[in-house]
Amino acid sequence: MGLVDLASLAGAAVDGHVLAALAAAGLEGLRTRHGYVVQRLLVGPATATALARDLGVTQQAMSKTVAELRALGYVETVADPADARARPVGLSAEGRRTVEVARAARSRLLRQLRARVGADRAGVAADVLGELLDVLDVGRHLATRTVPAPRGAF
């Protein structure tokens, strides 16, 4: 199996690992697509329209996803001082807890990997995967947390 195939499988497996950690922490109902929204909201509150634009999905799909996250208690409507009619959402306390739990799960996984292969090899692998993201034109979105969702994710 090649590098790209393994990277794809690893990404899906890490997503499953994180979702299992979230469920074990009592954070139920989350899906991989929700993570894209949560990551974007770490930058600050946004309307469904802005989220849809930033993540490259339709307004309708994003409105549905935001409604799901609101119903689950992970996002909440916040005031927009510049426009009283706007309905931006931000992470709720439970939404911020999802970030903490997910980060902890990824950190544990990285420690396990480094224990198996060493910090140097793990660092080289991270560099290679970073280059793969650049080839896919995703790397430039990392700093702004606007990684486009894969087609069909929403």
The two three-digit tokens of residue 65, written as one number: 């996803």
Q: Give the pLDDT mean for 32-58.
A: 95
What pLDDT is attached to residue 132? 95
What pLDDT is attached to residue 81? 79
Residue 152 pLDDT level (bands cut at 50, 70, 90) = confident
Q: What is the pLDDT of residues 77-114, one digit of tens each?
A: 998 777 778 789 999 999 999 999 999 999 999 999 99
Residue 50 pLDDT level (bands cut at 50, 70, 90) = very high
| Residue 75, φ and ψ in degrees, nearest 5 | -130, 160
Q: What is the pLDDT of residues 135-148, one digit of tens each?
A: 999 999 998 999 98
State the pTM of this model. 0.90
The CA distances from residue 47 to 39, 51, 91, 92, 111, in Å, are 14, 6, 12, 15, 36
pLDDT at 129 over 80: yes
Average pLDDT, the chain: 94
The proportion of the chain whose per-residue pLDDT surpasses 70, expressed as a percent, equals: 100
- Count CB-CB contacts under 10 A for residue 30: 20
Cα 52 to Cα 11: distance, rounded to the nearest angstrom: 23
Residues in the chain: 154
DSSP state of 153: -
* Domains of the chain with bracketed CATH: 3-141 (1.10.10.10)
Which has the higher per-residue pLDDT, 17 or 81? Answer: 17
